[in-house]
Structure formats: C-alpha cells, structure tokens
C-alpha cells in the first residue's frame, strides 16, 4: 500500500496519526483540508481582484486538481474568456496580464503586475497552513470516532 507523502512540519503528533491511516483515507482527508485552506485565501483574492474588476472577482472559483495517483491539490481559477466577455479572436487575456504584468508593443513600456493571486497567497499563507492543519486534525479525530 502506498500512502500520501506530505510534510507536516512541526507537528509530530499529527504526522504519527496521519501515517496510521490507509492511503485512500489520507488522500480524502488531505483533499478536504486543502480545499478548506483555499477557502481561507479566497476572500482576500476576491477583494484584491475586485479592485481590478468586479466581474473578475465574481468569477473566481476553487476547483480540485485533476485526479492523479501522484498529485492531490486544489486551485483557484480565474473566469474564462466567455465569462468575462473577451472576444475569442482577442489575443489578450487580461486577468493573466494583470497578475503577471506586460510590455506594450512598439513602445517598450513595461506595465507592472497588479498581482491579486500571488499577493493574497503570500499574505494569507500562514492562516491557510493553520487551517489545513486544523482540518486534518478534525478529519482524523472524526474518522477515529466513526471507526470505533
């Protein structure tokens, strides 16, 4: 049986309890905890995106990564071109340009990034990690009670 390889730095008790779980249960608990961590970051992302465009903020979503034996995770998605009303033939996708910055053709003028995703993740990282840790404990404790 192959389990999930996750570093639970600083909490040996949680690491021991987590390692005793079956592999499929580990994945299930990690997926739920990561989603809770993403929900911790989401209000900050939406607040910063709404400064750029309210449509951008309304269209933000949390989704699980595609299922894989090697990867577990969640991601915060920006709205699609259709959801934002960007024409299909337009070569620009402005949420990415806002996040990463861009260079104006011909003028060589550099437009700096107005990062809403990275800055929110940086600012809320500790809170999200704590939320993930707490959620793992909750799932492990509830799972042990259900098994008894």
The domain total for the chain is 1
- Helices 23-52 and 117-147: crossing angle in degrees, nearest 10, is 150
* Residue 61: its H or E element: strand 61-64
Residue pLDDT, tens place only, 33-44: 999 999 999 999
Q: Which domain holds residue 41?
A: 12-143
Model confidence, pTM: 0.79
With cut-offs at 50, 70 and 90, classify the pLDDT of residue 142: confident
Residue 2 lies in a domain: no
Class of residue 34 by CB neighbours under 10 A (exposed 0-12, middle 13-18, buried 19+): buried
Say what the pLDDT of residue 9 is.
66
Using alpha carbons only, give the angle 24, 30, 63 rounded to the nearest 5 degrees: 105
Residue 72 lies in a domain: yes
Residue pLDDT, tens place only, 59-94: 999 998 887 777 788 888 888 888 888 888 887 777
């Amino acid at each position: 049986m192959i389990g999930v390889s996750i570093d639970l730095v600083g909490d040996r008790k949680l690491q021991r309890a987590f390692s005793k779980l079956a592999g499929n249960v580990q994945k299930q608990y990690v997926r739920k905890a990561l989603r809770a961590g993403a929900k911790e970051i989401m209000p900050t992302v939406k607040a910063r995106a709404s400064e750029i465009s309210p449509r951008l903020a309304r269209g933000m979503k949390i989704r699980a990564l595609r299922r894989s034996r090697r990867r577990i995770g969640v991601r915060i998605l920006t709205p699609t071109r259709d959801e934002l009303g960007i024409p299909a033939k337009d070569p620009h996708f402005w949420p990415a340009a806002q996040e990463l910055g861009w260079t104006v053709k011909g003028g060589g003028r550099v437009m700096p990034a107005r990062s809403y995703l990275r800055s929110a993740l940086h600012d809320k990282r500790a809170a999200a990690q704590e939320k993930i840790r707490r959620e793992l404990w909750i799932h492990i404790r509830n799972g042990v009670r259900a098994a008894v």
